[in-house]
Chains A and B, each alone.
Chain A
Amino acid sequence: MGVTLTILSLIVLIPLTAVALKAAHQSPEAFWAAAFNDRSLAAYRLTFGAAFVAAAVNGVFGVLTAWALVRYEFPGKTIVNALVDLPFALPTAVAGIALATLYAPKGWVGQFLTPLGIKAAYNPIGVVIALTFIGLPFVVRTIEPVLRDAAEDVEEAAASLGADRLQTIARVVLPALAPAWLTGFAMAFARGVGEYGSVIFIAGNMPYKSEIAPLLIIIQLEQFEYERAATIAVVMLAVSFTMLLVINAIQAWSRRFD
């Protein structure tokens, strides 16, 4: 017990305090200027926007994947099931260079996008692609157990009351999944906001355009602007904590119906 708390404090709590103290080690005006200048605002917009879009994409395909894994039998299901966790197991830098190569203008996928006028890599779209890769398992693995435990008798009840399959899915199945879906979405979003390794290779990292907030921290660090780096970190930490609270609130809310 005491050991647990000591180690936790040494490794987690004290260093986190260091960030807050460092950021507070400047005037409010300087803090504001470092936190919310045009360049950092653009970086937040891209980071949060891309994380949101990627989480939404995963929200759609994650539900379908979980549904197929739980409800259907098909050849290669075990492999598909294992593959879903690839983003957990594959180092992000590897994912980054692979995605950058695939979606570069002359890459395997990029060459088909270029004629359509779509520039994927070295563009905000690239950031979304990387974050989609990173976030997928969060959505699938949050929904899957809930779907597996969901009693099929409510679907039978809906059918016996005259609902067609679409009505059953829309009014009975999906609403019951909503808390898990929102939790998975929030987790994928939170992870996407902080992601660095897989993004920097494909993003192009152009200030004001395709530069993410974590990269901004690194750039400030390399210029020995520790206060400024800590300031951006504090903003991101605030968002992380908010997401944690949101996830906990969703789960508390969903327990109301059990």
Chain B
Amino acid sequence: MTISIRSIEKKFGRYPALNKVDLEIADGELLALLGPSGSGKTTLLRTIAGLEFPDAGQVLFDGEDVTFASAAARRVGFVFQQYALFKHMTVAKNIAFGLDVRKGKDKPDKAEIARRVEALLKLVELEGLGKRYPSQLSGGQRQRVALSRALAVQPSVLLLDEPFGALDATVRKSLRKELRRVHDATGVTTIFVTHDQEEALELADRVAILNKGQIEQVGTPDQVHEEPETAFVCGFVGEANCFDGRVGDGRFSAGALQLPASGLRDGSATAYVRPHDFVLDDAGFEVRVDRAHVQGALTTVNATTLDGRPLEISASRAEAARFAGTVRISARKAHVYAA
């Protein structure tokens, strides 16, 4: 199912949570809503689910206006941050809930419900745990129950709010793969909220980056990382060295650092350089190496420019030995934004 978000606005009191947000989500897509806390990403997700209603704008499902349809009417699967499992029900009852509350001829018979519950338990690799209560499961297992409960109603869209936020690092990694696998197996349009850029870039087909209630950029993980459209995206996605300087005659300068900045108006500007985009270059500018430490295949070098600006360089292990004393470097790629 395609989802269209059109000029959505939402205020909590006087605090604007969403400010004219537009977003198109394609059928079968896996989209991440990425942003810092307070950026409005959860509010946007809840608006799509019908758990919040916008002050202005529209939500369309397959072209149909559902802006003010109740959550119950939308057939969305929602996975809550704290799972929100029904703790007095067994795992099987939890998963069956969405089918159980249907009325009349929409309601599958008992055998059919049991069959679907079994199939879902199998899908999320929880076979044999149907009779347990949520309190008897680990965090990762609860997350899987929440996921299969949401999938049980065969939702037209699956929404997940910080689905891995409450889990420890190893469980988080394996569940990420699991979600991708489930998404590929069911083909359901999926949107998840996260503040973890690594999670968003690894898992999603496309990433929408939110800041202060507005969407900064929507694109593939590669696009938002390599071609950030705004200073915020550049600073938020991936590591970046940040330099405050000025643009004049199509060139950016901050002390010894000189970068091409064609098409930018003269005036103050900010440049971002990824640590791996600094390379040794005899034609470059001088920096003093403070510390180089090996991290697996890469070496992180902390250095200072002659006018005292700290920066971080990422080099291959082979090059590491050359970073000592004073070296000359240049930026092979940079992003410059007018302030």
- Chain B interface residue bracket vs A: 20 to 34
Docked Cα-Cα span, A257 to B87, in Å, equals 6
If A156-B51, A258-B135 touch, does A163 touch B72 (CB 8 Å cutoff)?
yes
If A153-B80, A153-B82, A258-B135 touch, does A160 touch B50 (CB 8 Å cutoff)?
yes
Contact B87 A164 (CB under 8 A): no
Residues of A within 8 A of B74 (CB): 160
Whether a CB of chain A sits under 8 angstroms from the CB of B61 is no
From 35 to 71 in chain A, residues with beta carbon under 8 angstroms from any chain B beta carbon are none
Whether a CB of chain B sits under 8 angstroms from the CB of A151 is yes
Residues of B within 8 A of A167 (CB): 101
Docked Cα-Cα span, A258 to B88, in Å, equals 9
Docked Cα-Cα span, A154 to B150, in Å, equals 13
CB distance from B193 to the nearest CB of A (A): 14
Max count, chain A CB within 10 A of own CB: residue among B49, B78, B84: B84
Contact A257 B133 (CB under 8 A): yes
CB distance from A257 to the nearest CB of B (A): 5
Whether a CB of chain B sits under 8 angstroms from the CB of A158 is yes
Please tell me the number of chain A residues within 8 Å of chain B, measured between CB atoms. 21
Contact A160 B101 (CB under 8 A): no
From 231 to 283 in chain B, residues with beta carbon under 8 angstroms from any chain A beta carbon are none
CB-based A-B contact count at 8 angstroms = 78
Contact B135 A257 (CB under 8 A): yes
CB distance from A182 to the nearest CB of B (A): 13
Whether a CB of chain B sits under 8 angstroms from the CB of A90 is no
Whether a CB of chain B sits under 8 angstroms from the CB of A159 is yes
CB distance from B248 to the nearest CB of A (A): 54
Whether a CB of chain A sits under 8 angstroms from the CB of B97 is yes
Residues of A within 8 A of B89 (CB): 175
Contact A256 B82 (CB under 8 A): no
Picked from B71, B84, B88, the residue with its CB within 8 Å of the CB of A151 is B84
- In the complex, residue of chain B having the shortest beta-carbon distance to the beta carbon of A258: B135
Contact A154 B98 (CB under 8 A): no
Contact B88 A257 (CB under 8 A): yes
Docked Cα-Cα span, A71 to B118, in Å, equals 37
Contact A153 B84 (CB under 8 A): yes
Max count, chain A CB within 10 A of own CB: residue among B49, B97, B152: B97
If A160-B76, A162-B102, A164-B72 touch, does A172 touch B133 (CB 8 Å cutoff)?
no
Whether a CB of chain B sits under 8 angstroms from the CB of A245 is no
Contact B133 A162 (CB under 8 A): no
Contact B78 A156 (CB under 8 A): yes
Contact A161 B97 (CB under 8 A): yes
- In the complex, residue of chain A having the shortest beta-carbon distance to the beta carbon of B49: A160
Picked from A154, A162, A164, A257, the residue with its CB within 8 Å of the CB of B84 is A154
Contact A151 B82 (CB under 8 A): yes
Contact B102 A160 (CB under 8 A): no
Contact B135 A156 (CB under 8 A): no
Contact B78 A160 (CB under 8 A): yes
If A153-B82, A163-B72 touch, does A256 touch B101 (CB 8 Å cutoff)?
no
Whether a CB of chain A sits under 8 angstroms from the CB of B77 is yes
Contact B71 A159 (CB under 8 A): yes
Whether a CB of chain A sits under 8 angstroms from the CB of B70 is yes
What are some 5 contacts across the A-B interface (CB < 8 A)?
A153-B81, A157-B80, A159-B51, A159-B70, A163-B97
| 20 further A-B pairs in the complex, CB-CB below 8 A; given A151-B84, A159-B51 | A154-B84, A156-B51, A156-B71, A156-B78, A156-B80, A157-B86, A158-B86, A158-B101, A159-B72, A160-B74, A160-B77, A160-B78, A161-B150, A162-B72, A162-B101, A163-B97, A171-B101, A175-B89, A176-B86, A257-B133
The 6 closest A-B pairs by CB, nearest first: A161-B98, A153-B84, A157-B84, A160-B78, A163-B101, A159-B71
